[in-house]
């Protein structure tokens, strides 16, 4: 799913990429462009979603509901990423050296794909874990 999301986001950026732009020179000085801005937000979202989805909880750690600091931190990270996508603050965008997304449809497509990626991975993880635990419990009998 992550690879599909990556491909989707790269393809979404393609119509807005100017191939003569200096920011696309591989060994050149860093200059923000649409593609690296989208990839930055995606990497941020992906790291947060991997922690959220793979967090095990009991018996080895606190459950997510008990670990309030982690839960609030992940929520805050998802909110900041959404603020970057929807260009909530120009100062925030400039701090992260990102460019504004071209239009509302683009922003909506990005956040929708990120939400689908998170939901799909969460559901798949929970289904696989439930199936694994079910086979483990039935082998005890």
Residue 62: predicted pLDDT: 82
Return the structure tokens found at 97.
Answer: 């050296």
> Are 57 and 64 in contact, with CB atoms under 8 Å apart?
yes
DSSP 41-61: HHHHHHHHHHHHHH---TTTS
For residue 100, the 8-state DSSP code is P
Residue 139: predicted pLDDT: 56
Residue 31: predicted pLDDT: 83
Helix (H) or strand (E) holding 39: helix 34-54
For residue 101, the 8-state DSSP code is P
How many helices and strands, by DSSP H and E, does the chain display? Answer: 5, 0
User: Domain residue spans in the chain?
Assistant: 2-7+32-140
pTM, rounded to two decimals: 0.82
Distance CA 74, CA 80 (A): 10
113 backbone dihedrals φ, ψ, rounded to 5°: -65, -40
Residue 23: predicted pLDDT: 66
Residue 33: predicted pLDDT: 86
**Each residue's pLDDT tens digit in the chain (141 positions)?**
888 999 999 999 888 887 777 767 777 777 888 888 999 999 999 999 998 888 877 777 788 888 889 899 999 999 999 999 998 888 999 999 999 999 999 999 999 999 999 999 999 988 888 887 777 666 555
Return the structure tokens found at 90.
Answer: 């120009």
CB atoms under 10 Å from CB of 88, counted, come to: 13
């Amino acid at each position: 799913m992550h690879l599909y999301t990556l491909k989707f986001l790269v393809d979404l950026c393609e119509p807005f990429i100017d191939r003569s732009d200096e920011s696309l020179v591989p060994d050149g000085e860093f200059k923000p462009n649409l593609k690296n801005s989208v990839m930055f937000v995606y990497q941020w979202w992906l790291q947060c979603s991997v922690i959220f989805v793979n967090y095990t909880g009991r018996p080895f750690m606190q459950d997510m509901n008990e670990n309030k600091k982690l839960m609030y931190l992940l929520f805050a990270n998802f909110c900041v990423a959404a603020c970057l996508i929807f260009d909530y603050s120009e100062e925030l965008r400039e701090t992260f050296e990102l460019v504004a997304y071209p239009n509302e449809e683009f922003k909506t497509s990005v956040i929708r794909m990120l939400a689908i990626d998170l939901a799909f991975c969460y559901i798949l993880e929970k289904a696989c874990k439930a199936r694994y635990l079910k086979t483990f419990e039935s082998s005890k009998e």
